[in-house]
Amino acid sequence: MAKGHRSQIKRERNEKNRETRPFAKLSYARVSVTKACFVLDAIRGKDVRTALAILAYNPRYASSLIEKLLKSAIANAENNNGLKAENLYIAECYANKGPTMKRIRPRAQGRAYRIEKRMSHITIVLDEK
């Protein structure tokens, strides 16, 4: 049996498995996973400068959110990990499903249709070349 309190054991295990690459996460973004993934697929694997250029000229709404998130990830890499921005590339980027807001749309003959306003959690992980 392991020594120490359960919370101490968990803390030590989480320290060992902690992600060392710089990342940024946007929770509860008001954009669906499908729409966010169109933009994320365009920048996956690209270096940071190219990805920022792609996001600046992408007309989709999600690209403005992801551009801000990418800049945050770059700042995290520079300040927390001491990495240079020109050596970074996007190692992983993905959008996970968040909660769905349910709204009612009145229809003919007293019926009500449901409108689902979807949210997503977007994550960008950077790495050095």
With a cut of 80, say whether residue 18 has pLDDT above it.
no
Q: Is 125 within 8 Å of 21 (Cβ atoms)?
A: yes
pLDDT in tens, 70-123: 999 999 999 998 899 999 999 999 999 999 999 999 999 999 999 999 999 999
The strand pairing partners of 106, in sequence order, are: 112
34: helix, strand or coil:
helix
* pLDDT interval class at 2 (50, 70, 90): low
With a cut of 60, say whether residue 52 has pLDDT above it.
yes
Q: 83: Cβ–Cβ under 8 A, 6 or more apart, which residues? A: 22, 77, 126, 128
With a cut of 70, say whether residue 11 has pLDDT above it.
yes
With a cut of 70, say whether residue 63 has pLDDT above it.
yes
DSSP notation for 61-113: HHHHHHHHHHHHHHHHHHHHS---GGGEEEEEEEEEEEEEEEEEEE-GGG-EE
